Structure 1
Amino acid sequence: MACVEMRDIETGQSIFVEIARQGLLERNIYIGSTLVHMYASCNKVSLAQEVFDQLGMQTVVTWNALISGYTDHGCGEQALICLQQMREEGIAPDVVTLVCSIKACGVMLCINRGQEIHSEIIKKGLLHDSFFIGSSLVNMYIKCCDFETAQQVFGKLPTRNTVMWNALISGCAEYGQGQESLVYFEQMLKEGLSPDHVTFIYIMKACSYLGDILIGQKMHIYILMLGLEWCPFVGSSLVDMYSKCGSLTHAEYVFSKLPEKDIVDWTALIAGFVENGDGNIALHIFDSMHSEKISGGAVSFSCAFRACSEGMFKSKGLELHIESLKKGLESESLVSRSLVDFYAKCGALNEAQNVFDRLLVFDVFCLSTLIMGFIDWGLNVEALERFKHMQIKYAAAADAVTLVCFLKACAMIGAISDVKELHAQLCKKGLETSSFVSSILVDAYTKCSFFADAEKVNDGSISSWNAIISGFVDYGHDEAAISCFKDLNQEGLSPDSLTCVCVLKAVCSLGAIEEGKRIHAELVVKGLEMELLISNTLIDMYSKCSLMGEALNLFYKCPVQTVVLWTALIAGCIEHGHGELALCYFDQMQDTGISPSAATFSCVLRACCKIGVMERAEQLLVDVLKKGMLEQNIFLCSTVVDIYAKQGYLLKAQKVFNMLPVQDSVSWAVLIAGYSDHGFRETALDCFDQMQNENVVPVLATFISTLKACGSIRAVGKGQTIHSEIIMKGLEKEINIYNTLVDMYSKFSLLEEARILFDNFPVKNIASWAALVKGYMDSGNNKQGLNFFEQMEQVAERQGSVALMATLKACVSVAALAKGLEIHSEIIMQGLEEEPLVGNALIDLYTKLGAPAEAEQVFSGLLSQDVVAWTSLIMIYSQTGMTGDVLRVFNNIMGGSIKPDSITVLAILNAFSHTGLVEEGLLYFELACVIDNFVPNLEHFTCLLDLLGRAGLVDRAVKLTIDMPIHPNMIVWLTLLGSCRKWGHLEYGKDAFQHAVNLNENESAAYVCLANICVEYSDRNEDEMVF
């Protein structure tokens, strides 16, 4: 027995050899039972079975030793096989056997076998005789997610002490039934029982799950009153509760007050910061723990790897991996899972595979993570191959848990045939009726888009309903999700937090705010409104539905404003154009002591970009760099690349892009879009090729950017190659891809291909028609173009104001003023003229077609004259040479509350350029940059070059190309070449030409322009050699 207590297997084996030598094993049943128990307790179940088989006689004691060994080490199915063999040999199970067998059913999630044993217990009248049987049944039903039966069993127990209540409370807390745990806690107190430290550990877990910091704080006070704060694991439970409720300040305070901090306390704090997205701080705490000479265990290393995984801290992760190997922790389940996840998320799939291959025991979670890593990086074929290999290797001997994990993995890669095969295996084992298994089956079928099959296996439990509703939401079937939610309520089921979060997302997508308010009211009645996940989703819903007042009210009602809630509020402001307000909330958040997460910084940086305060953005980037977030967080880094790219700061964008630890499909997409949108089409296509060479799978936006680049430079072969790739990936049916393809082929003058695409696409929008119309008109086929234009008009009338605006844009492209007037009449008849968007579209029409009187008439009739309307007015006065009116509008903008945006500044500079007001233009540009914190992009600098060039200030134009903070593109050099030609500057012209051909040696305009400069220079200087 001493060997069992000390887990001293070597000494135990020596004793076993001596026992066998003396022939005592067959003669002494007590010795044999003790040996079986020793091997089983030391996780040597195969040796325990070997000893058991050598015994001369098996008694209930030896059977119990073997069954408990199998059960305790997760071999539930083998334990139940032993129970059956025991019965067949005529040995009746006693209380210990039944308790072990019930535990085995819980391990296997096999509710059917558990119910059979439960029936046997009732028949024998044992439920009232043994405390252990009752608590084991309660735990078994909870593990199988049958909370109703668990409560019924508990209610029938003759005596219920604190330990029994703890079993029920802990079971509910462990399986996400936080509200039920609190209800049972109150009932326990009403029965006059005193909670112990174990009770509070699980009550803290319930509060953590609910995100209910108010109840958590009440329980904290209760713990202090009972003097339990120094009991084992209570301090770490409090730290964990405050962390999960988003109050890291409280968590740190509790931690600081602990008299002695052990590994559990440190790990709870580390996990808290990881959960709240503060991976940097989590890793700092991990290092502090080590400096305190406390050696990290499997859980703390697992948390550290999660921090590295979420923050993409690859170098730190490698350092920790080496340390974990030295400590022999890699084989620990938690560590190996976190390592596989870390390497998979960093794109180091070979390293992830190596960790998986070194596992001592097969872990399906690791397999699922590995497979998802290949899928996330676009390596779907490799993912399927690995899955098939592992399934063949392990599925034959798989238990319920393994089969369920395989089922999840199949669903992740959409392998429906494998899902159905595993479903059949579960049915053969009689496991499909378990609520847990049923919900996993529902989830698997929904992930494969087989919703009818999902509904067939729905057992009516809340977990199954959640899987169906979540599946509908994930696949954009929002109305079906809301319908399911109503069905669920009609059946008398009470939706939980997950149900409500899913259906609120559906409401948000549809903009069905009245339905959202009704669900919100239900949540208030049920006391769920303040749960962290729910309150966050509600704030997000109100923000996205333009109800910022309701979002704010809810935000301030929350007992703790976490970084997640602040970020949701900030994102809502940005989405509805309130960038300045978003920055105010960002400052308020920091004033309350809450550190921004990577997601917060990403939102605020986008706000700076939208409202043109790039100076503030640069300050924020300094903070990001100080926190070490930029180089490590791929999401934040991609945001910075996107912002720089959109502003035309392509060198900065490329520099940040190069800092990325992993250059994924999103970061490539924003970089390629930046190059394409700012005229560097060849560079965009080079990036596209490089991305594919690195086996990064392009996203939809990348294909759109590259197709646009091909169209702009008439790269026919490249465009057709990309089109073929799009077809192979099944993306040609995407409306935005389709419209871009039509536009590209139109620009290639391959109108027959464009027309075939157009005719074959089942659903066309106005943009589809407009692309084809413009293609025909640009190629000189005016008759066919106008024919399609008339058909487009009919479509627009059916589709409403948005389509009418698109048609107005098409009128501009084909210079159809008469048609534009007809549409204007239609807009007046529909009462849409005063709508700002429609009015702006009309002003734009008259601006582009040179009708200033009509434009000003529409402008005067607008209910609100925004920056877009003022900009259009400046453009038309500029184009028609009405200098006085340009200055009048300009003075109105400068003296009013209208803040010019990027397009307005460009229009004003163009106006000054075309009207010869050079000094006024330069002064305005300087004022915009200094007073309005405006950050110019490449188009603004090009316009300044044109302004200087028109006035003959070529020297200053050349200096501008040197000093501008943005890398000049082809348009810049061609603009400078044009100025050099106009004013006869040969040397500057040569330099501009060299820069132009360095960008694209086939740019014919550069050669033509330089040739003209040389000819004109030679005419003026007949005796000089040009080259």
Structure 2
Amino acid sequence: METMTSRLPNLLQLCIDKKSHRKGKLIHAYILRNDLLSNTFLSNRLIELYSKCGNPGSARHVFAKIPKKDVYSWNAILGAHCKVGNLEDAHALFVEMPERNTVSWNTLISALVRNGSERSALNVYDRMILEGFLPTRFTLASVFSASGALLDVGHGRRCHGLLVKIGLEENMYVGNALLCMYAKCGLIRDAIQVFDGMPEPNEVTFTAMMRGLVQTDRVLEALDMFRLMLRKGIQVDCVSLSSILGVCARGACGEFNFDDLCCNMNGKQVHCLTIKLGYEGDLHLNNSLLDMYAKSGDMDGAEKVFAFLPGVSVVSWNVMIAGYGQKYQSGNAMEYLRRMIHCGFEPDDVTYINMLAACVKSGDIETARQMFNTMSIPSVSSWNAMISGYFQNGNHKEAIKLFREMQFRNEKPDRTTLAIALSSCAGMGFLEAGKQIHAALLKDSFHIDVYVASGLIGMYSKCGKTELAKHIFYKMTELDIVCWNSMIAGCSLNSLDKEAFTFFRQMKEYGMLPTQFSYATVLSCCAKLSSSFEGKQVYGLITKDGYVNDVFVGSALIDMYCKCGEIDEARQFFNTMPIKNTVTWNEMIHGYAQNGCGDKAVALYKDMIRSGEKPDDITFVAVLTACSHSGLTDAGIEIFNSMKQEHGVEPALDHFTCIIDSLGRAGRFKEAEVLLDKMPYKDDPIIWEVLLSSCRVHANVTLAKRAADELFRLDPQSSVPYVLLANIYSSLGRWDDARAVRDMMSDKQVKKNPGYSWVENKRGTQAFMVGDNVGMVDDEVEVSEEKSCYNV
């Protein structure tokens, strides 16, 4: 018997390793029969066995029978509760423990992180440190994981400091967790620093680094990281290959302005490597390949992969439906849905969401709604897809209506629903509905969610309530880059450009890395302030952060230079841009128009056509404005006539206004009148105001009287036609007619708003009304090339 008793620990360990529940129970019976349960060591092994085999009830029963429990007994039963996710009982046990060691703390912290209770995990970790326990590599890995999930950089950095202090900075396990934390928080520089300090990075390190680079829009660098991984001879497995295919897929789906052809080429190379390494039978990897081809827009490639899949899953069908949806081919997407059902697959929530998205992207919102209405119990994601569809189509009213219907059905919205609903309120300027949603957020504690908070900030800003937006912003305990961007954009939208700069600087001080949106917004502020000095400082940061080749940032930079009058710098930067889109060309053409360079604007417009870039309605407004302001009337007429015939752009009010202005400035009033009689915008006051201004310059009283009469009819309370017509009469010495117009203006109680000037000095910005008697000491006014701002 003694021999058998001495063998029991080894037998139990064998059962634990192999999860042999039945054999373990036989050993348990032997222990009971021989009254060996008082042996604490054996009882601890039994608890561990039942925990491993998923039998927490038996584990609790053994624990209750142990006469002398030690710390290992408590840790074993704590682990059993944590394994099955019974966190309430686990926490209660933890509190009751007469003695704890590092294993006790690690068990609870890791269980909380696994079950999504990251904040509680960090709180337990803080208590652990306060009680004098030194964390191990397992503790730190869990804490870094929790910090990354919560984007809590503060906790992560403090842990990093302790990691260095206790000498674990070269531990691969902890290093990978630390790198992941910085990557998830968007602090890619810190992640790269950790990566560079690791003595022997493995496949986990490289995969985490690639994901972090993609999260911060550095797709090319992520691809370079994969190439480095191959050059170093690091083992490439299915996970690594799936990750790099995800990089190619995300780069191609339009998120990062990455070339689809380039992404598809890289993806095909990875596809070849997959076959070479013998992973073509892995279903998960094949689905990643399918996703890459679909998001690259190569549906022929996706079809080939799909045809040879070793096993088709619901995910495979969903990817194909989403791919055709992205190509605006809802018919093909619907065909795949039919085939999926015919093959015996049950569509899941993702299937319906992809199908709804396919219909919405194809502009078939009615079919999407019909499909949605057939769903007996739509999931929150389905509601979100439908509400988002209305929002994307600019039908904010229907989006709000559907959101209210969701509430009437007692369907609880999530953070995405609320953010979309708030965006629709912002789009409509519907402040009251936005306030009602805000009240609902407070009730459900969604107001502390950074994602929803950014929606609230945007809604209040677009409704002109900047102070309320600031109140939301300052109440947040945690802020992400989207919240900062929303606040900066809100200030810019409400002409609080200096405050936008202040927020931008604070964001940098808090360690947030600006995005393309941050830079584009702050450059817009520089443009509105005509501050090339600050614009150039921002340009320096853009270069430093690697966004100088970003097409959106580049377009904003061109706009800033143009509005600051530095047209040559704008063109120089324009010429160096590797990628240009329609917005880029438009900004440069418009910049020439603003700065009186009509010939250059027309020449650049022709260069745009030759480059193959398709002009849009804004392009024509820009080039026609340039023609009008530079006296290039014939060139303007030629471009105007080519709009619909050659480029398929229907002339709108702004285009007619430009050409009427051009003809009026040139004194070609007969042609202007012919165009006026033919155009569909006769009842718009802007056209007649433009014509009336031209009549004043050329003293065309007859046409001026007609234009003024039209304006009296269209907008009786506007002072513009009275003032312009009276000025025309005055310039011709027809004082009686001028007096009659002013008397008519007085009789109809039409008031002219006074003009203002503003000047920036040491005391801030001061505004002066016309007629004010203002004394100013010369040395109180600071004027410099960058800071002077006068507007009459």
Same fold (TM over 0.5): yes
Q: Which residue of 2 aligns with 1:794?
A: 713
Q: Which residue of 2 aligns with 1:387?
A: 299
Q: Which residue of 1 aligns with 2:162?
A: 257
Q: Distance in 2 between matches of 1:527 and 1:839?
A: 47
Q: Which residue of 1 aligns with 2:317?
A: 403
The answer to whether the aligner puts 1:441 opposite 2:360 as a matched pair is: no
- C-alpha contact (below 8 Å) 1:267/1:303 kept by paired residues: no
Give 3-state SS (helix, strand or coil) of 2:410's partner. coil
1:465 is displaced (CA, Å) by 0.9
Q: Distance in 1 between matches of 2:134 and 2:670?
A: 80
For residues 155-234 of structure 1, what are the structure 2 equivalents within 5 Å?
A: 196=108, 199-204=111-116, 217-218=122-123, 220-221=125-126, 230=136, 232=138
Q: Distance in 2 between matches of 1:566 and 1:464?
A: 29
2:414 to 489, 493, 496: 496
Q: Structure 1's 609 and 499: CA in aligned 2 closer, same or farther, altered over 3 A?
A: same
1:701 to 618, 629, 632: 618
- C-alpha contact (below 8 Å) 1:279/1:311 kept by paired residues: no
Q: Structure 1's 690 and 818: CA in aligned 2 closer, same or farther, altered over 3 A?
A: farther
1:665 is displaced (CA, Å) by 3.2
My pick for the range that moved more, 476-485 or 638-647, is 638-647
1:162 is displaced (CA, Å) by 7.8
Q: Structure 1's 188 and 416: CA in aligned 2 closer, same or farther, altered over 3 A?
A: farther
1:714 to 615, 629, 632: 632
Give 3-state SS (helix, strand or coil) of 2:351's partner. helix
1:242 to 147, 158, 172: 147
Q: Which residue of 1 aligns with 2:245?
A: 336
Q: Distance in 1 between matches of 2:314 and 2:655?
A: 44
Q: Distance in 2 between matches of 1:542 and 1:661?
A: 37
2:548 to 622, 631, 634: 631
Q: Structure 1's 254 and 368: CA in aligned 2 closer, same or farther, altered over 3 A?
A: same
- C-alpha contact (below 8 Å) 1:703/1:737 kept by paired residues: yes
The answer to whether the aligner puts 1:766 opposite 2:677 as a matched pair is: no
- C-alpha contact (below 8 Å) 2:183/2:211 kept by paired residues: yes
The alignment yields a C-alpha RMSD, in angstroms, of 4.8
Q: Distance in 1 between matches of 2:636 and 2:592?
A: 17
Output one character per residue of 1:217-239: Cα deviation in whole Å (capped at 9) or x when no partner. Answer: 4354477699896465x644533
The answer to whether the aligner puts 1:412 opposite 2:326 as a matched pair is: yes
Q: Structure 1's 393 and 363: CA in aligned 2 closer, same or farther, altered over 3 A?
A: closer
- C-alpha contact (below 8 Å) 2:438/2:447 kept by paired residues: yes
Q: Distance in 2 between matches of 1:827 and 1:446?
A: 51
- C-alpha contact (below 8 Å) 1:299/1:334 kept by paired residues: yes
Give 3-state SS (helix, strand or coil) of 1:839's partner. coil
- C-alpha contact (below 8 Å) 2:81/2:90 kept by paired residues: no
Amino acid at match of 1:503: A
Output one character per residue of 1:468-518: Cα deviation in whole Å (capped at 9) or x when no partner. Answer: 111111221111111111100001111111110000111112222222122
Q: Distance in 1 between matches of 2:674 and 2:290?
A: 48
- C-alpha contact (below 8 Å) 1:197/1:228 kept by paired residues: no
Output one character per residue of 1:912-947: Cα deviation in whole Å (capped at 9) or x when no partner. Answer: xxxxxxxxxxx99x96534982279xx99xxxxxxx
Q: Structure 1's 337 and 191: CA in aligned 2 closer, same or farther, altered over 3 A?
A: same
1:557 is displaced (CA, Å) by 1.9
- C-alpha contact (below 8 Å) 2:547/2:553 kept by paired residues: yes
Amino acid at match of 2:241: E
2:210 to 302, 326, 350: 302
1:929 to 777, 783, 786: 783
- C-alpha contact (below 8 Å) 1:479/1:506 kept by paired residues: yes
Q: Which residue of 1 aligns with 2:342?
A: 428
The answer to whether the aligner puts 1:468 opposite 2:468 as a matched pair is: no
Give 3-state SS (helix, strand or coil) of 2:446's partner. coil
Amino acid at match of 2:349: S
Q: Distance in 2 between matches of 1:237 and 1:806?
A: 69
Q: Which residue of 2 aligns with 1:454?
A: 368
Q: Structure 1's 795 and 574: CA in aligned 2 closer, same or farther, altered over 3 A?
A: same
1:558 to 473, 476, 492: 476
Amino acid at match of 1:302: M
Q: Structure 1's 304 and 785: CA in aligned 2 closer, same or farther, altered over 3 A?
A: same
Give 3-state SS (helix, strand or coil) of 2:243's partner. helix
1:524 is displaced (CA, Å) by 1.1
Runs of 5+ unmatched residues, structure 2: 1-51, 57-76, 96-103, 275-279, 731-737, 759-764
1:270 is displaced (CA, Å) by 4.8
Q: Which residue of 1 aligns with 2:267?
A: 356
Q: Distance in 2 between matches of 1:811 and 1:186?
A: 82
- C-alpha contact (below 8 Å) 1:408/1:444 kept by paired residues: yes
Q: Distance in 1 between matches of 2:209 and 2:582?
A: 30
Q: Distance in 2 between matches of 1:318 and 1:808?
A: 66
Output one character per residue of 1:337-374: Cα deviation in whole Å (capped at 9) or x when no partner. Answer: 3135447745544422312333246867667667766x
Runs of 5+ unmatched residues, structure 1: 1-129, 135-159, 170-183, 208-213, 374-382, 845-855, 860-865, 874-884, 896-922, 941-1027
- C-alpha contact (below 8 Å) 1:590/1:596 kept by paired residues: yes
1:727 is displaced (CA, Å) by 6.4
2:491 to 557, 560, 573: 573
Amino acid at match of 1:435: D
1:255 is displaced (CA, Å) by 3.5
Amino acid at match of 1:299: T
Q: Distance in 2 between matches of 1:203 and 1:745?
A: 71
Q: Structure 1's 503 and 693: CA in aligned 2 closer, same or farther, altered over 3 A?
A: same
Q: Structure 1's 407 and 763: CA in aligned 2 closer, same or farther, altered over 3 A?
A: farther
Q: Which residue of 2 aligns with 1:94?
A: none
Q: Distance in 1 between matches of 2:305 and 2:743?
A: 71
- C-alpha contact (below 8 Å) 2:422/2:456 kept by paired residues: yes
Give 3-state SS (helix, strand or coil) of 1:476's partner. coil
Q: Structure 1's 742 and 583: CA in aligned 2 closer, same or farther, altered over 3 A?
A: same
Q: Distance in 2 between matches of 1:284 and 1:750?
A: 69
Q: Structure 1's 601 and 357: CA in aligned 2 closer, same or farther, altered over 3 A?
A: closer
- C-alpha contact (below 8 Å) 1:501/1:534 kept by paired residues: yes
Q: Which residue of 2 aligns with 1:681?
A: 598
Q: Distance in 1 between matches of 2:295 and 2:645?
A: 24
1:608 is displaced (CA, Å) by 4.2
Output one character per residue of 1:426-455: Cα deviation in whole Å (capped at 9) or x when no partner. Answer: 443465653332222222222333222222
- C-alpha contact (below 8 Å) 2:488/2:500 kept by paired residues: yes
Output one character per residue of 1:506-541: Cα deviation in whole Å (capped at 9) or x when no partner. Answer: 111222222212211111111111111011221222
1:632 is displaced (CA, Å) by 4.6
Amino acid at match of 2:299: F
Output one character per residue of 1:644-673: Cα deviation in whole Å (capped at 9) or x when no partner. Answer: 111111222233334545333333332222
Amino acid at match of 2:564: Q
- C-alpha contact (below 8 Å) 1:766/1:795 kept by paired residues: yes
1:651 to 562, 568, 573: 568
Amino acid at match of 1:239: F
My pick for the range that moved more, 594-603 or 539-548, is 594-603
1:641 to 554, 558, 566: 558
Give 3-state SS (helix, strand or coil) of 2:783's partner. helix
Q: Structure 1's 654 and 453: CA in aligned 2 closer, same or farther, altered over 3 A?
A: same
Give 3-state SS (helix, strand or coil) of 1:559's partner. coil
Q: Which residue of 2 aligns with 1:180?
A: none
- C-alpha contact (below 8 Å) 2:602/2:623 kept by paired residues: yes
TM-score (norm 1): 0.55
1:624 is displaced (CA, Å) by 4.3
Q: Distance in 1 between matches of 2:605 and 2:475?
A: 48
Q: Which residue of 2 aligns with 1:507?
A: 425
